[in-house]
Structure 1
Amino acid sequence: MNLNNLSCKSARNICLVKILAKLGHFPTRTTEKEAWFLSPLRSETQASFSVSLIKNLWFDFGLGKGGNTIDLIMAIKSCSVREALEFLNEDVNTFSFSPPIKKFRQKDTGLSIIDVQLINLEALLHYLKCRNIPLNIGRKYCRQVWYRSKGKQFFAIGLQNHKGGWELRNKYFKNSSSPKTYSFIKNDSRQLVITEGMFDFLSLAAMDKSLVQNSDCIILNSLAFIKRIEILIPVYDRVLLYLDNDPAGKKATASLLNQYEHITDHSDSYKDYVDLNEKLKNEKAWKK
């Protein structure tokens, strides 16, 4: 490698952990797959800056953005790509290079996204109406997603997760694209709202617009992702839970309440229903 002419491809393979150490940042916790740091981009007391040791990529959960080594230097030093490469080139012999990245494969859902648009198809407009979600709420947080599955083309209401995958819903199907994980909506708040599913979140946005707009919001998309968000919970002053009133939801709620003193359970506000959307649909029907 010509050290005097470091390419973007070579720069992206420089170990992020080594770069951060060179800049005076060290992990507070390390697992087999990732390292957690106090963010080098902002002030915080709980580590929410993650580095994937498999993909050599970073993500700042507090800012909701991430990238590769070049992106990190540009963000830290507020510089151009060329200046970032010059910085990395100066000390390239002190950095170690990650081996060729082995793709970490989650289970492939078999779906491929074709196009993402503003919600306008009559069938999806009707679906939102059936779930009693106002169109302005649906369009603000979701999109009309065309996707292919098993050789056929479909469309659905889509909510994007923080890794770029989509939760997909229409009248007939409930699907998701890879990678599947939780959705994270940032509003620069010290308060976090956690809902279980996509329509729970949309229902809460319809019921209490101010609460949602003035909170950071996590939509789990599956209770299986609770462990993934636990690193974020200590970052907030207050955490409000809106999980389902079923055995699995109650068990997850009890577990979180047992671990953190600043979490409150709000499932009592829809105690006669399984979830928020069921309450929204029933109350709207009652008023008609």
Structure 2
Amino acid sequence: MENIETSKSWEKARNICIVKTLAKLGHFPSRKTEKEAWFLSPLRSETQASFSVSLHKNLWYDFGIGKGGSIIDLIMEMKSCTVKEALEYLINDMTKLSFRPPKTEDRLRRTEIRILDVEAIYLQGLIDYLKSRNIPLEVGNNYCKQIWYHCKGKRYFAIGVQNHLEGWELRNKYFKNSSSPKTFSLFENDSKQLLITEGMFDFLSLATIDEGLVQSSDCIILNSLAFIKRIETLIPKYERVLLYLDNDPAGKKATASLLNQFDNTIDCSDFYSGYVDLNEKLINEGSWKKGENLKRKISG
């Protein structure tokens, strides 16, 4: 009888909404797409969201540790507890936190980002934002655009980098967003050398430190570690692949995986040792011109 009751409780608990439960525990999405909500992982420390929750299946996956599952699995991981203890924790919230897949029309109306205009960066707010990240406006305009977009009934502007499927990664001082389809960005310069960075500002930092290196190489911005698998087929065609991924557990794991798979890959994260990423080091170097010492190291 106890096993039957436990089984019933387990089935009911699986219908508790992961997103609502995470909100109750103080974790909120960094961004949402039509299908997924992306969080900074509640299971480990990270600076870029790689913890995904399916808004249709009510399942989670942490790309940094390669684990996923139901809300029960998540509570077991977060609380280091047994199935029974996880069910006891969840039982009181079964009704108010129940999972209901969003209706298609409502979901699209709430989350769709519609690009309105693409132009050179001139708004002072975006120029100041670049400056706060120690990126010169000239570098920003070489690789980015000023994007006006519509979302949730309002009009916004952001710095944008286009991905190779013509979606946009969007950043301003207050928001981090993206339009569909989401994937990696690729800059091709007919080179035998490939540079791989994790995010937009890592790439812009590299262009600030050594624009010659960037302009003489093909470059990939992953835009999320979730897209590592998508770029693996491109790596063998290059003579040398320089990796500038984050100095956090997820970034180190991704770097180690690529180093193990491909003999032409080189880990360049030592150049910003002691910092999470290239942009953090560039900011802490002070003026972007003070990055000349980095320039010699990377070019050498």
Normalising by the residue count of structure 2, what TM-score does the alignment of the two structures yield? 0.59
The alignment-based identity, stated in percent, is 71
Residue of structure 2 equivalent to 1:211: 213
Quick one: distance in 2 between partners of 1:118 and 1:260?
A: 38
Equivalences for 1:14-163 in 2 at 5 Å?
110-163=112-165
Query: Which residue matches 2:21?
Result: none
Equivalent AA in structure 2 for residue 256 of structure 1: L
Once the 2 structures are TM-superposed, how far is the Cα of residue 202 of structure 1 from its aligned partner?
0.2
Q: 1:232-243 residue pairs with structure 2 within 5 A?
A: 232-243=234-245
1:222 maps to which residue? 224
Q: State the one-letter code of the partner of 1:184.
A: L
- Distance in structure 2 (CA, Å) of the matches to 1:266 and 1:208: 14
Q: What is the number of residues matched between the two proteins?
A: 181
Q: Say whether residues 1:198 and 2:180 are aligned partners.
A: no
CA distance in 2, matches of 1:185, 1:149: 27
Report the AA paired with residue 125 of structure 2. A
Q: Which residue of 2 aligns with 1:34?
A: none
Which residue of structure 1 aligns with residue 49 of structure 2? none
Secondary structure in 2 matching 1:284: coil
Letter in structure 1 aligned against 2:223? N
Structure 2 residue aligned with 1:91: none
Q: Deviations over 1:146-203 (max 9, x none)?
A: 0011000100000000010000000000000000000000000000000000000000
Aligned residue in 2 for 1:259: 261
Other-structure match for 2:180? 178
CA distance in 2 between counterparts of 1:172 and 1:210 reads 31
Which structure has the highest helix share of the two? Answer: 2
In the alignment, which residue of structure 2 is the partner of 1:280? 282
Equivalent in the alignment of 2:252? 250
Post-superposition offset of 1:285? 5.6
Greater CA drift, 277-286 or 206-215: 277-286
Q: Is the 8 A contact 2:134 2:287 kept in 1?
A: no
Unaligned residue ranges in structure 2 (runs of 5+): 1-106, 291-300
Matched, 1:166 2:205: no
SS of equivalent to 2:286: helix
TM-score, normalization by structure 1: 0.61
The C-alpha deviation readout for 1:130-155, integer Å capped at 9, x for no partner, is 11101110001000000011000100
| Displacement of 1:210 | 1.3
Q: What CA distance in whole angstroms lies between the structure 1 residues aligned with 2:210 and 2:251?
A: 21
Give SS of 1:171's match. Answer: coil
Aligned partner letter, 2:260:
N
Q: Distance in 2 between matches of 1:221 and 1:201?
A: 10
Provide the C-alpha distance between the structure 1 equivalents of 2:156 and 2:247, rounded to a whole number of angstroms.
Answer: 31
Amino acid across the alignment from 1:220: L
SS at match of 2:219: strand
> Could you list the runs of 4 or more consecutive aligned residues of structure 1 that deviate by over 3 angstroms after TM superposition?
none
